[in-house]
Chain A
Amino acid sequence: MNTVIFRTIAPLIVAIMLMFSVYVCLRGHNEPGGGFIGGLIAASALAIWGMATGVETARKALRVDPLALAGAGVFAAALSGLASVFTGSPFMTSIWLYLDLGETSVPLSTPMIFDIGVYFVVLGTITSIALALQSGEES
């Protein structure tokens, strides 16, 4: 599996997949996509990275434990729901904020943060499982 071709192409594929995953995650509210599918794409990218360069290199490149990413995701999702407390509405009432940047308007919202949280949970969980399985394969 660990051929020269694969190792050469892998960084390119991984970079494109990661960028694409962010794009898919962010556009989810209006077009096909979302945090779950984005997270799956990113997790696949990291799995490929692990296969191509070895688990230890992949872990170093990530800098944080993937499971910590998952935890941060759950935390962010829960926090995004708490934001509505300050407006006096029930838990998880969404809040929208439209940022005007000259020509275009960027919608920011608590559901977006929530979706990003979902992205990280899926990314973190699947990556940590995949990397753990791969490290077993090497030994």
Chain B
Amino acid sequence: MPLVQRFSAPFSGWLLALVPAAIFVFLLQFIGPVAGGQTVATAIDWVPAYGLKLSFLIDGLSLTFALTISGVGALIVLYAPAYLKGHPHLGRFMGFMLAFMGAMLGLVLADSMLALFAFWELTSVTSFLLIGFDHSRQAARRAAIQALVITNIGGMALLVGAILVRQLTGSWEISALGSPAGEPLYGLVLACFLAAAFTKSAQVPFHFWLPNAMEAPTPVSAFLHSATMVQAGVYLLARLSPALGGTAARSTILLVFGGATLIWEALGALRQTDLKQMLAQTTIASLGLLVMLIGLGSETAIAAVIVYFVAHAFYKAALFMVVGAIDHEAGTRDITALGGLADRMPLTFIGAALAALSMFGLPFTLGFFAKEEIYAGLSDGPRQDIFALSVLVAGNALLGAVGLLVAIKPFLGAEVTTPKAAHEAPIAMLAGPLVLGVAGVVAAVMTDWFGTSVLEPGATAIMGEPVTSHLTLMINPASIALWLSVLTRGLAVLVYQQAATIRTLLRRASSVLWTADRVFDAVMFGLIRFAGAVTRTLHHGRLELYLVTVFAMLALALFVPLLALGGIDALLPISDLGDWSARLVWPDLQPYEWAVALLAVVGLGAVLVARNRLVAIVSLGIQGTAVALIFLLFGAPDLAFTQFMVEVLSVVIPALVMTRLRLDERDHRPFEDLARDGTLALVCGAGVSLALMVVLSGTLDTRLSDFFTATSVPIAHGANIVNVIPVDYRGFDTLGEISVVMGAGIAILALLQRKKAMPDKPAQARKAAS
């Protein structure tokens, strides 16, 4: 990507936009078959050993999402290089964008739960990279980490949910998913998926990450944080509707949380003066609205989900791009510092106006249908939805008002002097808003085509049963929906006129309320402090205590299983031996064998009595050499060989280390320490001896050694099994081990070098180590 960028700098947007555009055109051919009721499925073996497949499915829902992603994506890819013109890391940016788009397409097309999870996490990661793109600013880094943490909590929940569903219904494929409703674990499954959807789609109480994510460059906000990624949660809810739907718990939760998000964030949007923040908060509100609609779950409500999703993706991406253009050309995006731009940026204004009218819901725009369907969905439902109805009317009115504010306020009215002398944006930045604005109208005018080709298949996929479209451009004065729409628009205009007053009021109120973001900070800060405390406790820098810990753990590891398996008596039945003292016979050894055993004992004794550390190390070498001799005498030449070399090196290297540590020649431990270390040594020694005796008292399972003996020469061409096993049978293990050996070597060298770098500042070194 950076290469393409470098070689085609002025045209890179046009060139790169070909990728999503080609995907878009490719996907178009599926509209016909999918509208005809077909679905297209394909699968690649992923991990055949576990029956895992990377399966993909194109049905009405995934096609609608995929077309939106690739279509809006093409316009954004065209827009971004013009917006970030001259940025040194533009190539990297475009790479991230296309990577995100691939992940997002994978997410909506995936049929396998695990593939869905993988793509879900990939979108989180690419979103992290894009939010933190301007990584030299602290705010951008914080926002990136916050988005990653919040969406990854949801990702983990999604994984747990997917595994639970697999256990309950026996399938990884979403299309083959049975309903887990009625199972005792249904509540947990539901909670997992809801957590995933709510974190990704920024529902209350996880809403705070999305406004912060506006630290990203505007093309990112337009694409990821309005039209696509944040819709993944809504997509998940819609996709799992047939499997999870129909329970009172689910619809209540969705209605309550979606409604709360809608109202809270719509008010939040009015509070802002930054155009981008206003749009961000209306996005969250719109997501809340979609969640509510899925919660309602009636046929018209689901139809409304599809229409609203498409309409929202069009107008919100367009508005974000318009705001980016204003910011780019006028030098500010503060609504109070803008006005009268219509003359200077006429084309931008047309794009903004088209988008805003759709958001406002005028006839002949997709937004109109969206609103009609929402209200129709409620008026044909049960009357208990009066609560939902009022929430929706209020939310829509507030959103419409914000739409007018964003699109009308900067362009009309008296001209205001802006930081930069505003002029029309370049064509690449105009294409997005204009195309999307016009598309919103065209799709609405081609009512029947939109109804049968997009709405019906999409809604059918969510409902799990056929849905028919009844979209019409005709205005029916007898329907309640129409009058609700009129009421909504009236309220919106009212709010628009009083925007400044409302903003002041909300600001005053919110100065005490806005805290979810601070809670996140407090939690993260606490986590870091906790990690620091744990590290300081465990990683205290006192070598002898580390060794004590290691050997204490060894003693536990030796004795706990012994006791847990019924004690030493059960494994080594001493009572069965009868008169055990009679069994204690003088071992029948050759004189040279006695000599070797004596050597080991002498070596050990020398370690204990040695006053000088160097003498102790060498004495330990004597004991090790004796052990090597024992190996040699009892038929393990390989082992003996290696033991000899290891003994030599483990005398030489500690001796060299000693000289560097500048320790006293003698050991001055107090008696308590000596007692502690001695006890530990005795316990560990006894443990190892007991474990060995237990192992030897049982019958050895010789299947493995028989196999190696039988096959070593014929299939591995080697007679020395001890060597053939690590280099051939278990070569892969050995490869890992030698990598670890080298890694350890590098680590030791790094430690030695660092010590060398500041030889006379031990205090400083100790400080850095702790």
B181 within 8 A of A: no
Chain A residues within 8 Å of B642, by CB: 36-37, 40
B713's closest neighbor in chain A, by CB?
A30
Partner of A92, one of B731, B739, B748: B731
- Cβ of B723 and Cβ of A114 under 8 Å apart? no
What count of chain A residues pass the 8 Å CB interface test?
A: 49
B717 within 8 A of A: yes
Give the CA-CA distance A106 to B744 in the complex, in Å.
36
List which B659-718 residues lie within 8 A (CB) of chain A. Answer: 659-660, 716-718
Stretch at the interface among A3-11, A56-64, A115-123: A115-123
A94 within 8 A of B: yes
- Cβ of B731 and Cβ of A73 under 8 Å apart? no
Give the CA-CA distance A12 to B97 in the complex, in Å.
64
Known: A40-B645, A134-B656. A128 touches B727 (CB 8 A): no
B474 within 8 A of A: no
A102 within 8 A of B: no
B738 within 8 A of A: yes
Known: A32-B637, A40-B649, A44-B649. A118 touches B723 (CB 8 A): no
B472 within 8 A of A: no
Partner of A129, one of B646, B648, B726, B748: B748
- Cβ of B734 and Cβ of A114 under 8 Å apart? yes
Partner of B735, one of A47, A81, A134, A136: A81
Partner of B723, one of A33, A43, A122: A33
Give the CA-CA distance A6 to B748 in the complex, in Å.
28
- Cβ of B742 and Cβ of A111 under 8 Å apart? no
- Cβ of A67 and Cβ of B745 under 8 Å apart? yes
Give the CA-CA distance A87 to B704 in the complex, in Å.
28
Chain A residues within 8 Å of B739, by CB: 74
- Chain B proximity mask over A17-53: 1 for CB below 8 Å, otherwise 0: 0000000100011111111110011011001000000
- Cβ of A136 and Cβ of B752 under 8 Å apart? yes
Partner of B738, one of A30, A73, A130: A73
Partner of B641, one of A37, A91, A111: A37
- Chain A proximity mask over B305-317: 1 for CB below 8 Å, otherwise 0: 0000000000000
Partner of B656, one of A91, A107, A137: A137
- Cβ of A130 and Cβ of B656 under 8 Å apart? yes
- Cβ of A133 and Cβ of B660 under 8 Å apart? yes
Chain B residues within 8 Å of A94, by CB: 716-717, 728, 731
A132's closest neighbor in chain B, by CB?
B752
- Cβ of A33 and Cβ of B720 under 8 Å apart? yes
Chain B residues within 8 Å of A128, by CB: 745, 749
Chain B residues within 8 Å of A126, by CB: 649, 745
List which A81-107 residues lie within 8 A (CB) of chain B. Answer: 81, 91-92, 94, 96, 107
- Cβ of B738 and Cβ of A118 under 8 Å apart? yes
- Cβ of A74 and Cβ of B657 under 8 Å apart? no
Q: How far is the CB of A65 from chain B (nearest CB, A)?
A: 10
- Cβ of A43 and Cβ of B717 under 8 Å apart? no
B641's closest neighbor in chain A, by CB?
A37
A14 within 8 A of B: no
- Cβ of B723 and Cβ of A81 under 8 Å apart? no
Give the CA-CA distance A43 to B650 in the complex, in Å.
12
Give the CA-CA distance A114 to B759 in the complex, in Å.
40
Interface residues of A (CB under 8 A from B): 24, 28-37, 40-41, 43-44, 47, 67, 70-71, 73-74, 77-78, 81, 91-92, 94, 96, 107, 109, 111, 114-115, 117-118, 121-122, 124-126, 128-130, 132-134, 136-137, 139
19 pairs from A and B in contact (CB 8 Å cutoff): A24-B641, A28-B720, A29-B724, A31-B720, A34-B722, A37-B645, A41-B645, A44-B652, A47-B652, A67-B742, A70-B742, A77-B734, A77-B735, A111-B731, A125-B744, A128-B745, A130-B652, A132-B748, A137-B656
